[in-house]
């Protein structure tokens, strides 16, 4: 004869069943993640051409004390000297091993980035809302994240610094935000745009941390792997790669950057293409005529400079001081950092497709607000525009020829412009709804 179970026993049995179901779901999810990671390794190992050899060659030359900034290379190393150090351990390894290690590093950094976003944006959300968050965020940003893997670029490291600085800034951890921003500046100059909210908000600790960490990391290669000629690495970078960069002008450096290339999706690059007809016999497949009007060089520069100043003004306006309720500050500050992220790719003289993973910030913030029950048609419309301009213009959907034409018109650039509008609207909604 069966004995009736005591209430405590029933609860334990129910808990075991629930845990078992949860465990099975987690096992399925992790199985899918591992399978996707292994499947992605195959094309990563076979990808040609790849950005990885550029970084490894720069690290190898730095080990030898030789010049790493050479515009006569097929693909020159164009980044601050600190960004060569992460690739020193790959020097001397076979190409396949280099690619496998770099693939694993990118996956690990992506996991850290997503965990940072989840820890800050998803607190208090119901499980179902969390699942929708990841589905919708993937739909909006998967193209930009996959571009990092497709090009085997180092932009995931810049994304890590950007997201970490954004989360720290949102939580009021000023010194930590400055530390991550400074590290980002040492990797790539564009995170210096964090100086705008730091300055407008009067955050001395953030500015000091960014300056100290940025300067220290930039000069580190000169301490551990000095040049044979006695010059500073950063001096060579500035004189070779930055000397010709001017506000209002697209990146144009012989052997390195081409002003009209569709690969440059910065605001300056897109406005250059829209205002500069291209010869039908252009020698490069990356020079596609996307002009809608022909402007003289001074007029074109005025238009580009006006666009850049407008972006900078939006970033500064969102960072202005206001007496906001304490409960809304994390969302508002994260929105300020999201605007900085969009400004980074828009104001850079050269922004390739793999740089736009930073759109995770404005898209993630908007989704977190909407999934908490806030209704805002403008925010929804802007996210739809991000999806149409970004995801639906991929070559896998529209084909290579149409995709290149859309790149000539700046589809990725305008996605970042919409991302900036998303950040601004999200800040306004956060202030209105609390």
Say if residues 415 and 390 touch (Cβ distance below 8 Å). Answer: yes
Asked if the structure places residue 69 within a domain, the reply is: yes
Please state the rounded mean pLDDT for residues 363-388.
Answer: 95
pLDDT in tens, 18-54: 555 556 655 555 555 565 565 555 555 566 667 899 9
Q: What is the pLDDT of residue 1?
A: 47
Asked if the structure places residue 302 within a domain, the reply is: yes
Asked if the structure places residue 13 within a domain, the reply is: no
Asked if the structure places residue 252 within a domain, the reply is: no
Cα gap 80→152, rounded to integer Å: 18
Q: Please measure the distance between the N-terminal and C-terminal CA atoms of the chain and give it in whole angstroms.
A: 60
Strands of 194-325, DSSP E: none
Shared domain for 219 and 308, answered yes or no, is: no
285 CB contacts (<8 Å, ≥6 apart)?
Answer: 404
Q: What is the pLDDT of residue 57?
A: 94
Between residues 71 and 54, which one has the greater pLDDT? 54
Q: What is the pLDDT of residue 165?
A: 97
pLDDT above 80 (res 320): yes
pLDDT in tens, 269-299: 999 999 988 776 555 667 788 888 888 989 9
Cα gap 165→176, rounded to integer Å: 7
Asked if the structure places residue 2 within a domain, the reply is: no
pLDDT above 70 (res 195): yes
**Number of structural domains the chain divides into:** 2
pLDDT above 50 (res 137): yes
pLDDT above 60 (res 140): yes
Asked if the structure places residue 18 within a domain, the reply is: no
Shared domain for 324 and 192, answered yes or no, is: no
Shared domain for 214 and 67, answered yes or no, is: yes
Shared domain for 365 and 406, answered yes or no, is: yes
3-state SS assignment for residue 49: coil
Q: What is the pLDDT of residue 328?
A: 86
Shared domain for 266 and 221, answered yes or no, is: no
Asked if the structure places residue 221 within a domain, the reply is: yes
Shared domain for 306 and 231, answered yes or no, is: no
Q: Which residue has the tokens 């550029």?
A: 54
Shared domain for 76 and 220, answered yes or no, is: yes
Give 275: exposed, middle or buried? Use CB within 10 Å, 0-12, 13-18, 19+.
buried
In terms of phi and psi (left: phi > 0; alpha: psi -120 to 50; beta: otherwise), the region of 152 is left
Shared domain for 233 and 264, answered yes or no, is: no
Average of per-residue pLDDT values in the chain: 87
Shared domain for 273 and 372, answered yes or no, is: yes
pLDDT in tens, 217-246: 999 999 999 999 989 999 999 888 877 677
Asked if the structure places residue 27 within a domain, the reply is: no
Q: Distance of CA 396 to CAs 42, 289, 300, 391, Å?
A: 18, 21, 33, 10
Torsion from C-alpha of 395, 396, 401, 406, nearest 10 degrees: -30
Shared domain for 108 and 236, answered yes or no, is: yes
3-state SS assignment for residue 229: coil
Shared domain for 263 and 232, answered yes or no, is: no
CB count in 10 Å sphere of residue 330: 18
- Residue 295 belongs to domain spanning: 259-280+287-434
Shared domain for 202 and 304, answered yes or no, is: no
């Amino acid at each position: 004869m069966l004995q009736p179970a005591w209430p405590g026993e029933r609860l334990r049995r129910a808990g075991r069943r629930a845990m078992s179901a949860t465990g099975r779901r987690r096992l399925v999810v992790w199985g899918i993640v591992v399978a996707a990671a292994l499947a992605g390794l195959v094309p990563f190992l076979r990808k040609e051409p790849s950005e990885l050899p550029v970084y490894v060659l720069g690290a190898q030359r730095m080990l030898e004390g030789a010049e790493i900034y050479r515009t006569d290379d097929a693909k020159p190393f164009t980044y601050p000297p600190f960004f060569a150090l992460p690739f020193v351990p790959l020097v001397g390894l076979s190409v396949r091993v280099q690619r496998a290690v770099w693939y694993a590093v990118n996956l690990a950094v992506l996991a850290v980035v997503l965990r940072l976003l989840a820890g800050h944006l998803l607190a208090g959300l119901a499980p179902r809302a969390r699942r929708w968050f990841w589905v919708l965020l993937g739909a909006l940003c998967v193209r930009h994240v996959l571009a990092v893997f497709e090009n085997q670029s180092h932009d995931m490291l810049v994304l890590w610094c950007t997201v970490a600085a954004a989360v720290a800034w949102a939580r009021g951890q000023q010194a930590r935000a400055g530390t991550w921003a400074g590290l980002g500046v040492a990797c790539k100059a564009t995170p210096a745009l964090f100086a705008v909210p730091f300055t407008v908000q009067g955050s001395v600790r953030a500015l000091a941390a960014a300056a100290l960490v940025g300067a220290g990391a930039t000069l580190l290669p000169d301490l551990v792997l000095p040049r044979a000629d006695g010059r500073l690495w950063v001096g060579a970078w500035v004189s070779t790669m930055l000397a010709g960069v001017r506000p209002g002008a697209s990146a144009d450096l012989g052997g390195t950057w081409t002003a009209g290339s569709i690969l440059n999706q910065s605001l300056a690059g897109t406005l250059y293409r829209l205002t500069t007809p291209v010869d039908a016999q252009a020698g490069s497949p990356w020079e596609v005529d996307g002009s809608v009007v022909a402007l003289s060089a001074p007029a074109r520069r005025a238009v580009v400079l006006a666009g850049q100043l407008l972006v900078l003004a939006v970033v500064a306006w969102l960072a202005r001081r206001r007496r906001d309720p304490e409960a809304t500050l994390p969302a508002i500050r994260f929105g300020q950092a999201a605007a900085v992220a969009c400004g980074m790719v828009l104001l850079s003289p050269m922004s390739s497709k793999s740089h736009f993973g930073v759109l995770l910030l404005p898209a993630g913030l908007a989704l977190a607000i909407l999934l908490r029950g806030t209704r805002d048609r403008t925010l929804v419309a802007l996210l739809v525009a991000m999806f149409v301009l970004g995801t639906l213009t991929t070559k896998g959907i529209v084909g290579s020829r149409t995709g290149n034409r859309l790149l000539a018109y700046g589809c990725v650039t305008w996605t970042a412009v919409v991302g900036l509008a998303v950040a601004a609207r999200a800040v306004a909604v956060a202030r209105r709804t609390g």
